[in-house]
A and B are shown apart, each in its own frame.
Chain A
Amino acid sequence: MKPKYFRDPVHNFIVITRDYILELIDTEEFQRLRQIKQLGTSEITYYGANHNRFSHSIGTMYLMEKALSQLKSIGVSIDEETEMTALTAALLHDIGHGPFSHIFEKVIGSDHEKWTINIILGDTEINQVLQDKDKSLPQKIASVISKEYERKYIVYLLSSQLDVDRMDYLLRDSYYVGVKYGLFDPDMIFKSMQIHGESIAIDYKGLYAVEQYIHARYYMYWQVYYHKTTRGYELLLENILKRAKYLYEQNRLDKGIDTLIPVFRKGNEMDIKDYIKLNDNIILYAISLWRDSEDKVLRDLCNRYLRRDLYKAYELKEDNIHHIGKIENKLKEKLIQYGFEEENVEYYFGIDRPSNVTYDYYVEGEEGEKPVILIHKEGKYNSITRFSDSIKSLAGIKKYRYCLYFTRANYEGEDITDELIKIIKEGEEGQ
């Protein structure tokens, strides 16, 4: 085929020379990724962050190609079948993401990895393209996604503590968010890549590039992915979906859209054809309808969402975390005094505890708990923390943040923030 050139803001030209890759990109399921933002609600904090999973998926495939090309250049034999599996798995690794990924997953109880596999193996255009190329290809890609593929280094390249997925999203997110601390030198990492046993190792010469990558992960986690404003906005969206689902179940959702019915009715068991109709825009359209709902709570939450009237975030001091249960109860009581009904008060405050968000920075635990990044020096292989004091200390950092979120105003619009902060402060002092 005639090569196709994609102009990518992060990697510049991405040249597609394989016809089946282009056919996959043209499928309905892949085009859907244009309507799913990579960073969900982050654009409320960083307004540049409205890039989508479409560009990230192509970028991930591009980096996979680079990694394979490095391995081939140092004599690793990679046949066409393995390369095809690796590239398509990289291209399709996020195909199962739903709208506003994690929030949506939480509400419907689904898991994007399972949907990715469903779309690859199910009755879809993607499955057809893959089967036309090679009947066994869908199954092989699914085994890479579920980490069962026999060539483990491919699994490692796509999903580990140093993988092409993260490398692309760190660079891409930094670019769109407009921050520089997510940047690192991917080419140096690739140039140092080698295979050790069935896994990937990095030659010592690339140590500093990997250090930079791990620091980038750390900064992006705290400054972007786990930003407290973004987390508050996510909570608001989660509450909207929870309320809408509840009203649907009570037969009281007055402004529904057909596309969302299977979500409320069947949740994770919905049909694949219904699932791929979902995207961010559907949810935003629903919110714009629900702002006029008969239901007071849904209407109120949607209006807050559209006007960026966010919950107030209050970070608890580390020494006072053990009072959190008591603080939560006092806050609840106070909100009820301010007119929120006992059965609805849960929509107006929440606690964000560290385990609500998966760590995205480099950690090591016990041996065999999580695969470490291996460094090769003079014939010996060992964890990066053996070679780098800065990574050793970063991997050992135990930094936690507990944030309380609560409404700034009552139903009538009266500002109650100061009163609520007073209650929290008293609670923090153990009163």
Chain B
Amino acid sequence: MSSFLENYANIIELLRIAGKIEGRKKLQKMVYILKNLGADFKEDFYFHYYGPYSDVLTIELEELKSINVIKEDVKEHDNYFPTYTYELNIDDIGVKGDLENYKEVIYRLNRENSRFLELVATIMYFKEEKKYVKEDIIRKIKIVKSDKYYTDEEIKRSFDFLETITKD
């Protein structure tokens, strides 16, 4: 079934490298950041209330689950919203993605939490797609992420983080 799975090659590769990704939102932001760094992901993202988001990616995860390629572990929480953790179900399924150059970035991204990656992805969106300058990005973050109460330190750390992964 390799040709059909080619559609998902880099999602599979991402999970192969990362091992386990805790949180669908986190996975979303990781893919967005990697795609912007130049990795070959076909999924379209659009700017949503919580930063760049791809409906297609969410459905693709469901598809991969339905064909038993990935495993989804749902953790229910008292606050009602569950967390979804993803990992590969089968190690070798005959498709090879192309993320060799992004290994270090993937490890680094996977060590961060989804709140931080949401901020990084949003800054990246404003910087790369909207071409805003730093001052405008900070101003926009305060508008679009007002409910998240990101501190100045978090914003600074995100800019620094982005700079280092861009260099990598």
Please, how many angstroms separate the alpha-carbon atoms of A371 and B47 in the complex? 13
A328 at the interface (CB under 8 A from B): yes
A-B contacts at CB below 8 angstroms, number: 94
Return chain B residues, CB-CB under 8 Å to A354: 59, 62-63
Q: Kindly supply a per-residue 1/0 record for chain A positions 189-201, scoring 1 wherever the CB is within 8 Å of any chain B CB and 0 otherwise.
A: 0000000011000
Interface status of B49 (Cβ within 8 A of chain A): yes
Interface hit among B33-41, B79-87, B100-108, B149-157: B79-87
Known interface pairs A147-B144, A148-B140, A371-B49; A355-B63 also in contact (CB < 8 Å): yes
B147 to chain A, nearest CB (A): 7
Interface residue A369 (Cβ < 8 Å from any Cβ of B): yes
Residue with the greatest number of chain B CB neighbours at <10 A, chosen from A148, A353, A368: A368
CB contacts under 8 Å to A, within B124-168, are 130, 140, 143-144, 146-147
Are the CB atoms of A366 and B4 closer together than 8 Å? no
- The A contact surface, by secondary structure, is loop
Interface size range of chain A in the complex:
35 or more
How many angstroms between the C-alpha atoms of A329 and B4 in the bound complex? Answer: 9
The answer to whether A148 and B5 have CB atoms under 8 Å apart is: no
Find A353's partner among B55, B63, B82 (CB 8 Å cutoff).
B63
* Complex Cα–Cα for A70 and B24 (A): 36
Chain A's closest residue to B94 (CB) is A325
Q: Which residues in B have their C-beta under 8 angstroms from that of A113?
A: 46
Interface-facing stretch out of A203-211, A247-255, A259-267, A357-365: A357-365
Docked pose: A365 CA to B24 CA in angstroms = 8
* Interface residue SS majority, chain B: helix
Shortest Cβ gap from A345 to chain B (Å): 13
Q: In the assembled complex, how far is the CB of residue B108 from the closest CB belonging to chain A, in whole angstroms?
A: 22
* A295 at the B interface (CB under 8 A): no
A369 near B24 with CB under 8 A, answer: yes
Query: Given the complex, which residues of A lie within 8 Å of B4, measured CB to CB?
Result: 324-325, 328, 351
Q: Is A280 an interface residue (CB 8 A)?
A: no
| Identity of the chain A residue whose Cβ is nearest the Cβ of B3 in the assembled complex | A325
Within 8 A of B (CB), among A368-392: 368-371, 383, 385-386
Q: Is A326 an interface residue (CB 8 A)?
A: yes
Q: Mark B39-74, 1 if CB is under 8 A from A, else 0.
A: 000001011111001011011101100111000000
The answer to the question of A79 belonging to the interface, with a C-beta cut-off of 8 Å to chain B, is no
Whether A359 contacts B59 by the Cβ 8 Å rule is yes
Instruction: Fill in one digit per residue for A82-118: 1 if any B CB lies within 8 Å of its CB, else 0.
Output: 0000000000000000000000000000010100000
The answer to whether the Cβ of A150 comes within 8 Å of any Cβ in the partner chain is: yes
Q: Is the CB of B49 within 8 A of A353?
A: no
**Shortest distance in angstroms between A206's beta carbon and chain B's nearest beta carbon?**
21
| A296 interfacial contact with B, CB 8 Å | no
Return the chain A residue nearest B57 by Cβ.
Answer: A355
A281 to B68 alpha-carbon distance, docked (Å): 44
Q: How far apart are the CA atoms of A328 and B144 in the complex, in Å?
A: 45
Complex contacts, B3 vs chain A, CB 8 Å: 325, 328-329
By the criterion CB–CB under 8 Å, are B59 and A111 in contact?
Answer: no
Give the contacting residue for A197; candidates B24, B56, B63, B147; CB below 8 A: B147
Q: A366-B84, A367-B79, A367-B81 are in contact. Are A147 and B49 (CB under 8 A)?
A: yes
Write 15 A-B pairs (CB below 8 A) sorted by A numbering.
Answer: A147-B144, A148-B143, A152-B146, A318-B66, A325-B1, A325-B2, A325-B4, A365-B25, A365-B81, A367-B79, A367-B81, A369-B24, A370-B48, A371-B49, A383-B80
Report A's interface with B, CB cutoff 8 A: 111, 113, 146-148, 150, 152, 160, 197-198, 318, 321-326, 328-329, 351, 353-355, 358-359, 363-371, 383, 385-386, 398, 400
